[in-house]
């Protein structure tokens, strides 16, 4: 019920946003034509019109992005494949040792795959940012009864007790230029999927983040 409602709402929002863009483009083109006949006396007014048209366009683009997120469908997929995909992507860019140590070969979960992928992408990105070349970033996948636990550990600079407490709070970041949004989003997505995220210290060094999800 909620799922369908969200989907319809998302589609309506996307349609609405799209349908405003077209007439807006026509308005802009016509204003540009009128400006050709102007001797420059109305320059400021034309600028104000273009400025506001651009503002409306930005708002529409944002609304469309939100709508897109709302209508991503729930599917069943292999969590191990998602982790592998993220590791493949990052191992092509960064010189780290990416290791997958999966106890179970196959675990299917149900959810919005793109969102779950972005969760692991954020966690791996944090691990990359906390490590240096030749450090190890490892995924361990364990199945217990109807739950799957994916732990991403790194051998990086580690995390303090205080940061363990606060990581995942919106805008909490200890990085220069960090926005502190990554783990907040991860927690929200996993929460909505009926799972949870735990952050802790890795032994002998580094950080580990465990994502626990229900198996389908």
Ligand X SMILES: Nc1ncnc2c1ncn2[C@@H]1O[C@H](COP(=O)(O)OP(=O)(O)OP(=O)(O)O)[C@@H](O)[C@H]1O
Taking the C-alpha atoms of 187, 144, 150 and 103 in order, what is their torsion angle to the nearest 10 degrees? -170
Nearer to ligand X (CB atom), residue 67 or residue 119: 119
What gap in Å lies between CA 171 and CA 167, rounded to an integer?
9
Q: Determine contact, residues 169/184, Cβ cutoff 8 Å.
A: yes
Q: Determine contact, residues 156/126, Cβ cutoff 8 Å.
A: no
Nearer to ligand X (CB atom), residue 86 or residue 183: 183
| Total chain residues near ligand X (CB under 6 A) | 21
| Token pair listed for 54 | 């651009």
Q: Does 198 bind ligand X (CB under 6 A)?
A: no
What gap in Å lies between CA 55 and CA 51, rounded to an integer?
6
Q: Does 168 bind Mg ion (CB under 5 A)?
A: no
Nearer to ligand X (CB atom), residue 102 or residue 173: 173
Q: Does 182 bind Mg ion (CB under 5 A)?
A: yes
* CA distances for 162 relative to 174, 184, 211, angstroms: 11, 16, 20
Contacting Mg ion (CB under 5 A), which of 14, 79, 126, 127? 126
Nearer to Mg ion (CB atom), residue 156 or residue 182: 182
The beta strands (E) that lie in 20-164 are given as 75-78, 97-102, 108-111, 136-144, 147-154
Nearer to ligand X (CB atom), residue 107 or residue 135: 135
| Residue 133 CB, nearest approach to ligand X (Å) | 16
Q: Does 144 bind ligand X (CB under 6 A)?
A: no
| Token pair listed for 142 | 């364990």
Which run of H or E residues covers position 36? Answer: helix 2-36
When CB distances are held under 5 to 8 angstroms depending on the partner's kind, the choice from ligand X, Mg ion, none that residue 167 binds is ligand X
| Residue 170 CB, nearest approach to ligand X (Å) | 8
| Residue 154 CB, nearest approach to ligand X (Å) | 5
Only one of the segments 29-37, 80-88, 151-159, 189-197 lies at the binding site for ligand X (rule: CB under 6 A); that segment is 151-159
For 170, residues 6+ apart whose C-beta sits below 8 A from its C-beta are 180, 181, 184
Q: What is the footprint of ligand X within residues 19-58 (CB under 6 A)?
A: none
Residue facing Mg ion at closest CB distance: 182
Question: Which residues in this chain contact ligand X in the complex, by CB under 6 A?
Answer: 122, 126-127, 130, 154, 156, 159, 163, 167, 172-175, 178-184, 207
């Amino acid at each position: 019920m909620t799922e369908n409602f969200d989907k319809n709402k998302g589609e309506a929002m996307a349609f609405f946003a799209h349908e405003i863009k077209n007439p807006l483009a026509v308005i802009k083109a016509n204003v540009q034509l009128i400006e050709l006949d102007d001797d420059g006396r109305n320059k400021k007014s034309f600028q104000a019109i273009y400025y506001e048209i651009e503002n409306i366009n930005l708002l529409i683009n944002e609304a469309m992005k939100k709508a897109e997120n709302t209508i991503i469908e729930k599917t069943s997929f292999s969590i191990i494949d998602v982790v592998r995909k993220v590791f493949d992507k990052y191992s092509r860019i960064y010189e780290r040792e990416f290791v997958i140590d999966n106890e179970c070969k196959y675990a299917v979960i149900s959810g919005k795959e793109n969102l779950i992928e972005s969760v692991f992408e954020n966690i791996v990105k944090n691990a990359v940012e906390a490590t240096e070349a030749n450090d190890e970033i490892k995924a361990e996948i364990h199945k217990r009864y109807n739950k799957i636990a994916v732990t991403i550990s790194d051998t990086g600079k580690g995390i303090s007790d205080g940061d363990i407490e606060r990581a995942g709070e919106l805008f909490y970041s200890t990085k220069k230029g960090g926005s502190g949004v990554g783990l907040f989003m991860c927690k929200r997505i996993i929460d909505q999927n009926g799972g949870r995220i735990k952050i802790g210290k890795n032994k002998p060094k580094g950080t580990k983040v465990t994502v626990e999800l229900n198996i389908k």
